[in-house]
Amino acid sequence: MYIIAIAWLYVTVLMAATEKTITAGVLTFVFYGLLPCALLLWILGVNHRRRKKYVKELGNNLGNDNVHEPDSTHTETDE
């Protein structure tokens, strides 16, 4: 998804570079590139942030603070 955003920003930079004045170029980049890209990434990232928050709350409610520690129940060595 980020490669599409980077490509779109590249296209808008090229569009802004062809404008006659610097002000028109900056406004073209901001309104055609930066704001739509930021809005799209923010909207598409809502589910990821919501899921991440849910998993964090679920872990805190279950008391699983030591998730990444080995349980040491398997005492034999793997060969």
pLDDT digit string, tens, across residues 41-60: 888 887 878 888 888 877 76
Confidence of residue 64 (pLDDT cuts 50, 70, 90): low
CB 12: neighbour CB atoms within 10 A?
Answer: 20
State yes or no: pLDDT of 63 exceeds 60. Answer: no
pTM comes to: 0.59
Secondary structure of residue 48 in the 3-state scheme: helix
Output the six-digit token pair for 75.
């005492």
